[in-house]
Copies of this chain bind each other. A is one copy, B any other.
Amino acid sequence: MTIRTLVWGENIHERINEVVRDIYPDGMHKTIADALNRDDAITAETATLQEPEHGLTEARLKETDVLVWWGHKDHGAVDDAVVERVAARVHEGMGLIVLHSGHFAKIFKRLMGTPCALKWREAGERERVWTVNPGHPIAAGIPENFVLENEEMYGEFFSVPEPLETVFISWFSGGEVFRSGLTWRRGAGNIFYFRPGHETYPTYHDETVQQVIRNAVRWAYRPAPALTGIHTAPNVPVGEALEPITERGPKLHKAGEAGYK
């Protein structure tokens, strides 16, 4: 088993903000990819906003099993056509891990169908992440709670659809809570949102955070062939019905005609 993983980074603050550059000299995507490559089952590469087609060409996505997404400052710069392309691949079964400020990424809002808004405060306060679903594969080996001494606060209401399962919930010093680890499936694609990761703190160097993301990549991986048929609404001709039926009543469509879209 080799899970072909692509870590997508917006790659802006790492270049223009000294604090972020000091923590992630090769970019946050590189740190995350390195953490993933510590798992023998995962082969992780990177792509960034600045590459042609943001590094997310049709060919590359076809060879990607799981996509990890970090963006913040310039969600609007991601081309809509690329967003649709990524969405189509998720529907076909590519896994998607959305990190932190990626809650406002076009691709996440596109797949959730909701505002994906939340409250926030940048004060370097303490975050305690609690495991509320210890049987879930993403929680494997993760303690019942772990601390990130300095993090940005995200607070409820987090306007996403009710998840399949809630895996983590965060406690903040300032009095807020947040559903920090949530799962969904869209089409055949598994999606995981994981909250921590503000760029001015060394969150992605944290061993437990890295383990969560590795677990998430393994969980999101779908080894079955791409469900390419998911995009079509095929007509089943009467003559090919599984049980013999006789056509009755008036019809809109002529034989062989495509449906409306």
Contact = CB atoms under 8 A, between A and B. Distances in A.
Contact of A171 (B76, B118, B164, B177): B177
Interface residues on A, range: 35 or more
B173 A156 contact: no
A120 B259 contact: yes
A195 interface: no
Contact of A175 (B17, B227, B242): B242
Given A124-B249, A162-B164, A176 B186 contact: no
A70 interface: no
B119 A234 contact: yes
A96 to B, nearest CB: 11
Interface string A236-253: 111001110111111111
A91 B249 CA distance: 40
Contacts of A161: 161, 184-186
Contacts of A75: 260-261
A200 interface: yes
Interface in A156-177: 156-159, 161-162, 164-166, 169-177
A114 interface: yes
Interface of A: 13, 17, 19, 72-76, 87, 91, 93, 101, 104, 110-115, 117-125, 128, 130-137, 139-141, 144-145, 150, 153, 155-159, 161-162, 164-166, 169-177, 179, 184-190, 198-201, 222-224, 227, 230-238, 241-243, 245-253, 259-261
